[in-house]
Amino acid sequence: MASLGRTFRLLRLLPAELQTSHVKPAVAFRVSSSTRNFSTEELPDGTFKASDVEVTLTAPHKLQAKPDVGNLIFGRTFTDHMFTVEWDKQAQWGKPQIKPMGNLPIHPAAKVLHYAIELFEGMKAYRGVDGRIRLFRPDLNMQRILRGAKRAMLPTFDPNEFIGCIKKLVKIEQEWIPHSETSSLYIRPTYIGTDPSLGVALSNNAMLYIILCPVGPYFATGFKPVSLYADPKYVRAWPGGCGDQKLGSNYGPTVFVQKTAEARGQQQVLWLYGEDHQLTEVGTMNIFFVVRNANGEKELITPPLNGLILPGVTRFSVLDLCREWKELKITERTITMAEVQQLTKENRLLEMFGAGTACIVCPVCSISYLGEKIDIPTAEQENPVYMKVLNTLSNIFYGKINHPWGVLVD
């Protein structure tokens, strides 16, 4: 899996000041999708094991009817079962369980409710054209959740055991995976600090759980390009913060800004940073540009992993694919609004799109910025890059091509 080596080098090449350099490079960053076991030294907090999962099935008469995937709103319909495992500083990991989906009993002083000791992942399971079920690069999600756990001061665990638990849950819920090539089963691993005490301190109790949602296409408007609202007065992430982590604390403050965008008639927020109005992310997605550069070459540009950017699994995959194709120059660098304005004026900005697990790719048609509307001709390109990326990823997701990124569940 040559591309993985490349991905990891990128992570290690971050400027020391901007990466969360106080967090030692996670051992897990070297994990492949093999089932190599972790040594005790690598797992200071021990681990739970997939083979220990205790399964309690929902009574047959309580199973829900499967929904019409055509009418699904993202994240509102859940399957019948969930996974949970709890950790306690003294007792360490408890018994991992798959059990009927239901409310969690949480102490009102739990740190997750007061101080946002919480992180999550977004993954998907796909039903292939061959009838088999696949995850997509789950090892990358495991690296990120373990890096986030260290930053949130929650215990680590063996990522391969957690992948094993995810697979067990997905197998039990396999009838929930839509028979559709635009739909999938969204997997939401969630990790919360449950310690019932009000000190702003590390959590001596934690719960790791997984819930599942069948999902259709992410955006209500379908695959139509989206309009963006860019206002430099709202800043998502900053140097010295945690913008490169999938922590809950990065998301709550964005809801107000998203509603501001919607009230203005735009669909998503374009997040800017700095005096020079660098473009960093769009909504909850990484961002990509296809430009005709000064040398006349077609160039793919995405902001670098400088601490302000979430290291998205889809982001890595877009870069890996485009590097493999050798049709574009690939550049990870900062891009500013002034440059976007200039490129647009010179008709050299060809495509702009977001990329993330929920939406895969999301073309952009315009940016509203300081009273100006900048039109982006993403939808007008012949054979656009975003579409080739989407088609290739879809072929991997749905098993039309055999690729190491598609990890079989069975």
Here the tokens at position 113 are: 């409710």
**Rounded-to-integer distance, Cα 192 and Cα 112, Å:** 6
- 60-68, 134-142, 229-237, 374-382 -> range binding its own copies (CB under 8 A): 229-237
φ, ψ of residue 362 to 5 degrees: the values are -145, 105
Cβ nearer to its own copies, comparing 34 with 90: 90
Instruction: Check residue 219 for interaction with its own copies (CB under 8 A).
Output: no
**Rounded-to-integer distance, Cα 242 and Cα 21, Å:** 12
Residues in 132-171 that interact with its own copies by CB under 8 A:
151-153
Minimum distance from CB of 186 to its own copies (Å)?
A: 7
Instruction: Check residue 113 for interaction with its own copies (CB under 8 A).
Output: yes
Instruction: Check residue 209 for interaction with its own copies (CB under 8 A).
Output: yes
**Distance in Å from the first CA to the final CA of the chain:** 20
Minimum distance from CB of 264 to its own copies (Å)?
A: 12
What radius of gyration, in Å, describes the C-alpha atoms of the chain? Answer: 21
Here the tokens at position 202 are: 């590390």
Partners of 330 in beta bridges: 300
- 45-53, 109-117, 132-140, 338-346 -> range binding its own copies (CB under 8 A): 109-117
Instruction: Check residue 98 for interaction with its own copies (CB under 8 A).
Output: no
**Rounded-to-integer distance, Cα 300 and Cα 322, Å:** 8
Instruction: Check residue 116 for interaction with its own copies (CB under 8 A).
Output: yes
Place of tokens 């975003």: 386
Confirm if 202 and 89 have CB atoms less than 8 A apart.
Answer: no
Instruction: Check residue 213 for interaction with its own copies (CB under 8 A).
Output: yes
Q: Which of 186, 229, 353, 398 binds its own copies (CB under 8 A)?
A: 186
Sketch the per residue contact string, 56 through 95, with its own copies: x for CB under 8 A, - otherwise: -----------------xxxx-x---x-------------
Count CA atoms within 13 Å of residue 199 on its CB side: 5
Q: Which of 64, 21, 26 is nearest to 42 (CA)?
A: 26
Q: Which of 93, 72, 2, 26 is nearest to 323 (CA)?
A: 2
Minimum distance from CB of 253 to its own copies (Å)?
A: 5
Residues lying near its own copies in the complex (CB under 8 A) are found at: 17, 21-23, 73-76, 78, 82, 101, 103-109, 111-118, 120, 151-153, 186, 188, 190, 192-193, 196-202, 209, 211, 213, 232-235, 238-242, 247-256, 258-260, 283-284
